Amino acid sequence: IYHKTEYRERRNHYAVFSVNSPISGFDTDRESFIGAYNGFGNPKAVLAGRSQNSVASGWSPIGSHYIDITLAAGEEKSLIFVLGYVENNENDKWESSGVINKKPALELLAKFKTDEQVDMALEELRAYWDNLLSNYHIECDDEKLARMVNIWNQYQCMTTFNMSRSASYYESGIGRGMGFRDSCQDLLGFVHLIPERARERILDIAATQLKDGSTYHQYQPLTKKGNLDVGSGFNDDPLWLIFGTAAYIKETGDYTILDEITPFDNNENDADTLFAHLKASFYYTANNKGPHGLPLIGRADWNDCLNLNCFSKTPGESFQTCSNYESGIAESVFIAGMFVAIGKDFVKLCRQRGLDDEAEKAQLEIDKMYDAVIKHGWDGEWFLRAYDAYGEKVGSSQCEEGKIFIEPQGFCVIAEIGIKEGLAKKALDSVKTHLDTKYGIVLQQPAFSKYYLNLGEISSYPPGYKENAGIFCHNNPWVSIAETIIGRGDRAFEIYRKTCPAYIEDISDLHKTEPYVYSQMIAGKDAVRHGEAKNSWLTGTAAWTFINISQYILGIKTDYEGLHIDPCLPYNLKRLTITRKFRGDIYIINISNSNNAQKGVKLITVDGKPVEGAVIKPVGDGNTHIVEVTMK
């Protein structure tokens, strides 16, 4: 069975579905196979015991083979079904008029004719994944933790890196493209798997950036060009490019990526180094601030649905692309936290390139932003979320609804804002008091019960769903990471467990999505079905959760100089072994926590020799090295 939609016109590829057995019939039209009113549980062809030999013409194609089999008692017969995809050269598409060139399809099917060929192919695939997943591997008494860290979380990171959100049919269909922010975040959890592909992705993303440092919000993976289907002006986007690039360099030590000549807006005549792109990203934020010295939010920040310049009253109008009131006033405390956190990497990259004056200038901008958050972004018990187009507070105790939001509480503490002032602990305690539930931390409280023209799409959802006080799994790890920064390992792991699929298998009837992958959101406490998950697989939750558990809770964090060892563990993790492949070497890291310390390393040895500080510098000999870590 060959599926050749648009092959005649614009495509050079088609799909093939085959079985290594003679067939007695087939179907390729869904309605002919299922029947008009039968449903998937009672297909017409199965009930009738014969196929219709239907040939789909548009609409809903399927693939079905009808095979007559007679088995004697105890007899077995193996059938091999292959679903594949092949391409032809433009000048070699047809065997004859209207008949596709099947040669590449037949060559593909010839590789999987026998059980032995299939078994060998599956073994090769298994070996490929065993090798890939061995880059980070944990052994511990917690089987669920090991299963998620060693297999499913990393596998999902690979999936989101490959597909971003572009293949999701949940909301936008296949035309959405790959997000600038999404792709930068996805590579955070992928870079340790295949760093060379992460490098390529960074350069592709940077090539869609505009000269002033702003970005398209998405780009198309085939053309690698930005588009305006969901707009631009999401003012957090530029900073993620710095974050993703820093993650790649920390993993690989490859600073040469900064010298790669990369176009702006895919214009080869307007190109500069990747470092110049990072500088543009940094100063786009530094030079676009509002009345309080905080970053202008633009159309939105990470929360695409917090549209403070939208003011939409028209049904069907896109919240992301319309802008009925360009205030030049609406500011984001969340972006401010990002700027302080990610800006530190920009400063380090400046110094590495010998640009000390540039580093000092950037540090001054970071210091100003830090002070602005302390002065204008603190509400008394937690960090504000934003200022709206009128300069009024969003995410404040003064608000009628939406008094506290999760995003700035996580990212401002990740940036270490408020730690020395004693504010970080207050903010995280407020999260536990006001936002925490048994299924995870909701995005904000109280939920919006009506539409707020000045807030946009966030207030259009039913209470407890999506951005309106749903449990957005993507930013739960930010709060868990923040907890590790202030040393509360038990609380960090508690947050991790609540949204981790392996720990909630017993509520699968409620949760409803797959019990091995993360979902975008879970219905919040204001929802009718609190605890029901939505939109699995293609979500930034995968990357952020892996960063949280691998680098902050288990504490094996990549850094420019090497591996920074700083676990922040729950009381029940007393001993664990982590195998980490890093810059050509293999490190077997044994962590002993017999004193139930949540944070703090007493001693590190590498091959029996004590290490000063907490950073293991790469040995660089390609061998295996034994690391012993004793917590306080």
Tokens of 483: 């907890």
Q: Alpha-carbon distance 339 to 371, whole Å?
A: 12
Return the ∠ at Cα 480 (arms to 479 and 486), rounded to 5°: 90
How far the first Cα of the chain sits from its last, in Å, is 64
Q: Alpha-carbon distance 407 to 174, whole Å?
A: 28
295: left (phi over 0), alpha (psi -120 to 50) or beta: beta
Residues in Cβ contact with 557 at an 8 Å cutoff, skipping those fewer than 6 apart: 551, 563, 564, 565, 566
| Cβ atoms 67, 19 nearer than 8 A | yes
Q: Alpha-carbon distance 185 to 452, whole Å?
A: 30
Q: How far is CA 347 from each of CA 133, 277, 357, rounded to the nearest angstrom?
A: 33, 14, 10
Q: For this structure, is 304 an active site residue?
A: yes
Residue 89 Cα to chain centre, angstroms: 35
Tokens of 381: 């018990």
Residue 242 Cα to chain centre, angstroms: 16
Return the ∠ at Cα 582 (arms to 577 and 587), rounded to 5°: 35
Q: How far is CA 1 from each of CA 19, 26, 84, 192, rounded to the nearest angstrom?
A: 10, 8, 11, 39
DSSP at 474: T
Residues in Cβ contact with 142 at an 8 Å cutoff, skipping those fewer than 6 apart: 572, 573
DSSP 234-278: BTTHHHHHHHHHHHHHHHH--GGGGG-EEEETTEEEEEEEHHHHH
Tokens of 116: 């032995």
DSSP 367-384: HHHHHHHHHHSB-SSSB-
| Cβ atoms 154, 129 nearer than 8 A | no
> Which amino acid, 502?
A
Comparing CA positions, the residue from 253, 352, 150, 199 lying closest to residue 563 is 253
Cα-Cα-Cα-Cα dihedral of 485, 580, 583, 341, to 10°? -10
Q: At 239, phi and psi to the nearest 5?
A: -70, -30
Per the residue annotation, which of 304, 345, 379, 559 is the catalytic one? 304
Q: Alpha-carbon distance 212 to 405, whole Å?
A: 30
> Which residues are catalytically annotated?
304
